[in-house]
Amino acid sequence: MLVAGNWKMYKGPAETAEFCLGLREQDLDGVDVVVCPPFVSLAVAVQVLAGTEIAVGAQNVHWENEGAFTGEISPPMLRELGVYGAIVGHSERRQYFGETDETVGRRTRAALAAGLFVIACVGETEAERERGETEDVLRRQLAHLEADDNLVIAYEPVWAIGTGKTATPEIADAAHAFVKSIIDVPVLYGGSVKPENAAELMTHGGHVDGALVGGASLELESFTAICRAAIPS
């Protein structure tokens, strides 16, 4: 099981250092843990978590190694910093910043080629689900991705991100099974994962391989509770 915390635009370097110092003290054997701070906090996270099994990931990465791309960060820059991987194609990048299925594919391929681990996000909106288009949307998004040992997919129903709504374990497991029928990689669930629902989401049906956690990853107590819920009993 893999549990990744996406901190979005929260926690500067000072808060990140405090959180990571606390995370170092937790006993999380049996689960793979990744934290994904904002770009400005990556260096301190890498430093504080050095010597642990906890990985540090970025929240985005560009497809070129260098160039005139103001505001972007390249795969080699992340590698030099000691960053383990990156999230790519989060629904907020798609919704607010013009990310497309094609650019998600380009970012993913470049990051993998540079030796980074990638969590590539897919998922449908509420309107798409209501129209019965979930599988068509997932098929279209996954068409730009290829299986790789360092690739993980995160299924994040857009209607369940930051809304407090959560896919039922049955809905999540069915979507994960469909994703795996197209691409043979581990699949995380993302969408209002909390300590209260994490264990059921990750154990129901057997197709969920962990969680991509948003808001609940910002507090040490709730994040570690979700991590412990992923440890096989």
| Structural domains of the chain, count | 1
* pLDDT tens, residue by residue, 44-99: 999 999 999 999 999 999 999 999 999 999 999 999 999 999 999 999 999 999 99
Encode burial over 72-99: b for 16+ CB neighbours within 10 A, e otherwise. Answer: ebbbebbeebebbbbbbbbbbbbeeeeb
- pLDDT above 90 (res 230): yes
CB neighbours of 129 closer than 8 A, spacing ≥ 6?
157, 159
**Residue of 144, 156, 176, 207 with catalytic role:** 156
Residue 50's pLDDT is 97
Element (H, E) at 181: helix 169-182
CB neighbours of 57 closer than 8 A, spacing ≥ 6?
4, 34, 35, 36, 83, 84, 85, 86, 87, 117, 119
Q: Is 8 left (phi over 0), alpha (psi -120 to 50) or beta?
A: left
CA distance 31 to 39: 25
Residue 105's pLDDT is 98
* pLDDT tens, residue by residue, 161-220: 777 777 788 888 999 999 999 999 999 999 889 999 999 988 887 899 999 999 999 999
Residue type, 223: F
**Computed over its alpha carbons, how large is the radius of gyration of the chain?**
16
* pLDDT tens, residue by residue, 6-19: 999 999 999 999 99
Between 169-182 and 134-142, two packed helices, what is the crossing angle to 10 degrees?
A: 40
**Residue of 90, 144, 176, 207 with catalytic role:** 90
Domain with 142, as residue range(s), is: 2-229
* pLDDT tens, residue by residue, 118-161: 999 999 998 898 899 999 999 999 999 999 999 999 999 988 77
Residue 163's pLDDT is 73
Tell me if 6 sits within 8 A of 36, measured CB to CB: yes
| CATH, residue 212 | 3.20.20.70
* pLDDT tens, residue by residue, 100-121: 999 999 999 999 999 999 999 9
Residue 168's pLDDT is 85
207 counts as catalytic? no
156 counts as catalytic? yes
